[in-house]
Each structure stands twice: as structure tokens, then as C-alpha cells.
Amino acid sequence: ATPVAIMVGTGKGAENGILIKSGEALETLASVDTVVMDKTGTITEGRPRITSVMPLGIPREELLAIAAGLEAGSEHPLAAAVLSVAAEEGVSSRAMTGFAAALGRGVEARADGHVYLAGNERLMAERGIGLAPVREKLDALAAAGATPLLFAADDRLIGLLGAADEPKATSREAIKRFHALGLSVVMLTGDNERTAEAMRARMGIERAIAGVLPEHKAAHVKELQAAGHRVAMIGDGINDAPALAQADVGIAIGAGTDIAIDSADAVLMKSDLLDAVNAVRLARAVLRNIK
């Protein structure tokens, strides 16, 4: 495309809340055949709510106090959901120290000589904590597309919370339109296999890659590229930044973190996946008309 056509194209994008940082990005976008999307905050609202509380051998209030104490030290959206439910139920969080994040797994902290854990199945498995008492509830939550949060005290399971994060109103339609444009869609998430599968099916996505540790997101994009695909990656989180940089075109959600926005080639100001579809259409139109 000519420089003028590209200027007109990027200008048109900007008018519609799609900031494309370079002419090269616009040109590359016209030829992508695969869209990789992060789940939390990209396909979903990224504002999970706690929908169930299941204490195990301790009172509900104590579970919530410990959960809130642990999550007070975390920046994760799931942490905000836990703090909200504790506040709603009038439970004050237990004061903790020695916070340590287990990246892509959960958090750990200490209080009164006890070690507390909050996280997913992977974290509990790593610490040798058996999940038999909550297995049925755990599976039911995941099958419904909710994220199970597990809590332990000194290697003893003390409860399970379920967090639901609803898809954005336009996500399903955007995925359908990507398909209509001939693109394939892959969902990438740190969430567990079954929760991811429920969301994949609900959104009509052909492939989901779950349980991806933050440091491995970019490797999955690289793998698709090595298989001959030209990849656009859409994400919002710090976790997504390396994958956004690795992709042929990185597209950040406008409401996402600064690091994601800095790593991307384009930004969706309205945080709406339909604008990612519009960006591909715009890129193709620019390339088609003025080559």
C-alpha cells in the first residue's frame, strides 16, 4: 500500500477507537490467518465475582477471613473478587505477612505461625495437598465455566471458592466474524483445562490451550508461527506482553495494563473484540484498494 493509503487507513482506525501504531502493523494485519486470544479480561470482562463458598472443617467466616488475608497481597483480578465477597459479608481479613506470589498458580502468606495458600489445582498438587473432599464440587464449578480457588492451611485443605467471569457482550459475535473472514481462533489461558473448555464451547472457539504459565504464552504463539501461521495476538495483561510482542501483530485491550499496551502494535480503545474484527477488515480494505 502507498504511504497515503496507510495514513488514511490508520486515521480511519483512530476515528473508530482502533489505534494502529505503524503502517507496517496495518499491512501485516491484512494477512494474518490466526487470532490468538487471552481469556480473562480479553474475551471475558476480567471482573470475576465469587459465586460459591465451600468451607472445609472451619466456619465460613474463618475461610473468608483467611482468603481475604491472603488475597490482600495479590494484584490478581481473582483477589479483588475475594476481597469483595469478604467485605459484603462483613468479614475482616486476617492480617498476614511474608506474601509470595506463585506465578500462574496463586499466593502464599503467613499468620500466627501458620502457612496459608490460595490457588489452583496445580499449586495444591505441587504442595502435595489432596483434593478428594472437594473433587465433585471442583469439577462442577469448572464444568460451569467458573474458576475454582482452593485454600489450604499448613498443607490441609480448608475450603473452595468459585469465581465466575462473564464473557463481554460482543465476544461471541466477534469470534463468529473472525471465522467468517476465514481466520482461525485460539484461546490461551492460565485457567484450568475444564474451565477453559466450558468457555471455549460457549464462545464457539475451535481450540483452547489451558493451564498456560505466564512465561509460556509467547512460546505458544511462536509455535503457531513455526507451523506457518501469521498470528495476531489479543491480550490485556502483564502476562500477555511477551506474547503480544512475539505475535506478527499484537493487539492490546485499551482497558488493559500499560505493559500490554506498550508491547502491542495496536490498541482497542473501547476494549471491544468487534473492533479487532474491524481492524482486520480495515487492513484488508487498505491493501486491496491501493496496492
**Contact positions toward ligand ADP, by CB under 6 A?**
39-40, 71, 74, 76, 78-79, 104-107, 118-120, 147, 149, 189-191, 214, 237, 239
Q: Enumerate residues 224-243 that contact Mg ion by CB under 5 A.
A: 236-237
Supply the DSSP string of 193-227, one letter for each residue.
Answer: HHHHHHHHHHHT-SEEE-S--GGGHHHHHHHHHHT
CA distance 13 to 33: 20
Mark the segment that binds Mg ion (CB under 5 A) among 18-26, 32-40, 110-118, 135-143. 32-40
74: partner contacted, choices ligand ADP, Mg ion, none (Cβ within 5-8 A by kind): ligand ADP
C-alpha 12, offset from chain centre: 29
Active site residue ranges:
38
Residue number with the shortest CB distance to ligand ADP? 190
**If residue 60 lies in a helix (H) or strand (E), which one and from where to where?**
helix 60-71
236: partner contacted, choices ligand ADP, Mg ion, none (Cβ within 5-8 A by kind): Mg ion
Interface with Mg ion (CB under 5 A), residue from 10, 28, 34, 40: 40
Interface with Mg ion (CB under 5 A), residue from 10, 18, 38, 106: 38
Q: What would the grid cell of residue 216 be?
A: 509460556
Q: Which of 264, 219, 224 is nearest to 42 (CA)?
A: 264
Nearer to ligand ADP, 6 or 96 (CB): 96
C-alpha 21, offset from chain centre: 23
Using CB under 5 A as the binding rule, whether residue 71 contacts Mg ion is answered as: no
Nearer to Mg ion, 94 or 217 (CB): 217
Q: What would the grid cell of residue 237 be?
A: 495483561
As beta bridge partners, residue 160 has 54, 150
190: partner contacted, choices ligand ADP, Mg ion, none (Cβ within 5-8 A by kind): ligand ADP
As beta bridge partners, residue 108 has 100, 117
250: partner contacted, choices Mg ion, ligand ADP, none (Cβ within 5-8 A by kind): none
Minimum separation from the CB atom of position 10 to Mg ion (A): 26
CA distance 36 to 75: 24
**If residue 233 lies in a helix (H) or strand (E), which one and from where to where?**
strand 231-235
DSSP 8-state secondary structure symbol assigned to residue 42: I
Minimum separation from the CB atom of position 258 to ligand ADP (A): 17
Using CB under 5 A as the binding rule, whether residue 191 contacts Mg ion is answered as: no
Q: Which residues bind Mg ion (CB under 5 A)?
A: 38, 40-41, 236-237
